[in-house]
Amino acid sequence: MKGLYDKNELTFALGWNFFCCFFSTYQTVFMLQEAGATATFLAVASIAGSLVRILVSPWMGKYADRHGFAKACRLGLTFAAVSYGLLAFQGPATGKPLYLIYSIVTAIGMATISGGMLNILFEYVDAKDRVGAMGIYCSLAGLGAFAGSLAGGVVLDAIQKAGNRFFGLSVYGQQVLAAIGALGLLATVLYGKFILEKTPRIPGQK
C-alpha cells in the first residue's frame, strides 16, 4: 500500500460496518416486540457475551500476533456470520434461546473485530500516512454503518408492508435481515481471504 488508504482494507472493513448495522440495528426491537424478551434478559445476554469475550480475548490476541490482524478479523467475521445465521431461524418461541447463543458467538468474533479492523491499517499503510488513514477509515466506517442501517430499514419496512411475506414466504422481517447479514459477512470473509490477504503488506508486517 502506498498513500493514505488501501482500497482492499477499506472494502473489507466497510463490509463489516454495513452488514453489521444492516442486521443489528433492529434486532432489539424484534426481541422486545415479537420474542417477548425483557430488558433484564437482554442485559443478561449482553453480560454473558462480555464474559465470554474476556475469556477468549487473550487467545484471539495471540492468534493476531501470529497470523496478522487481517486473518484474525476474518476469523472474527466468521463467528459473527454464524451468529447472524442462527437468528435467521428466530421466532417468538425460539428468539430468546437463539439470541443468547448469538450473543456468545458474536462476542467471540468481536474479540478480534472491534480493535482489529482499525489495526489492519498498520499492516497495509505506511507509518507516515497512518493518522490520515485512520481519519478516512473512521469517517467511512460511520457512513457504512449509516448506509447499512438505512438499507436494513428499507427492507424491513417493505416486508412488513407486504404482510410479513418475502418472495411468497411467510417470515419475520428480522429473519431476512439476519440471513442477508450472514451472507454479506460470509462474502466479506471470502473477500478477506482471496483479495485482502493477497495484497502486499508493509515490510516487516505479518
pLDDT at res. 115: 87
Say yes or no to pLDDT of 1 above 50: no
pLDDT in tens, 132-154: 888 999 999 999 999 999 999 99
Q: pLDDT tens digits for 162-173?
A: 999 999 999 999
- The torsion angles phi and psi of 20, rounded to 5 degrees, stand at -60, -50
Q: What is the mean pLDDT of the chain?
A: 94
Over residues 60-91, the pLDDT tens digits come to: 999 999 999 999 999 999 999 999 999 999 99
Distance between terminal CA atoms of the chain? 14
* Cα distance between residue 67 and residue 24, in whole Å: 29
Contact 75, 112 (CB under 8 A): yes
Q: Tell me: the pLDDT tens digits for 83-136?
A: 999 999 999 999 999 999 999 999 999 999 998 998 998 888 888 888 888 899
- Asked if residue 205 has pLDDT above 80, the reply is no
